[in-house]
Amino acid sequence: MNWIPLRSVKQINEIINRSNEIPCVIFKHSTRCSISSMAKFRFEESWDFPENEIEAYYLDLIAFRNVSNQLAETFSVHHESPQLLLVKDGKCTYDASHLDITVNELKEGLTAKW
């Protein structure tokens, strides 16, 4: 899996724009939480998307809490950790948290009609 680091609020607009071309996922990870580590490990182990099908962004929300807060505001989602956001066509169309974060659920979110 090839994570793209998410470290600045400015990148949020870049992700929104990029999501008009390719779906983008954002994994919000707490480096202090064992559940977050387990969810990240399980997600990475199951990842089977070709590189040109979806882009994956990784946010260390302990180090970049302001970015996490801005994501919640921009996409009108409740902050959780860990959390996975799917951004398509400029909007957050799916989010999951904790052990609900799975590649299979993401695939369902990708194909759902919103």
pLDDT in tens, 75-105: 999 989 999 999 999 999 999 999 899 999 9
Residue 114 to residue 109: CA distance in whole angstroms: 9
Please measure the distance between the N-terminal and C-terminal CA atoms of the chain and give it in whole angstroms: 27
Q: Shortest CA distance to 67 belongs to which of 4, 1, 6? A: 6
Q: Shortest CA distance to 13 belongs to which of 80, 90, 93? A: 90
What three-state secondary structure class fits 84?
strand
pLDDT in tens, 40-72: 999 999 999 998 999 999 999 999 999 999 999
SS (H, E, C) 6-37: CCCCHHHHHHHHHCCCCCEEEEEECCCCHHHH
For domain 3-111, which CATH number applies: 1.10.1040.10, 3.40.50.300, 2.40.10.120, 3.40.30.10?
A: 3.40.30.10
pLDDT at 113: 59
Give the contacts of 87 (CB within 8 A, at least 6 positions apart): 15, 16, 19, 23, 24, 25, 26, 75, 93
Backbone phi and psi for residue 30, each to the nearest 5 degrees, phi listed first: -95, 115
pTM, two decimals, is 0.94
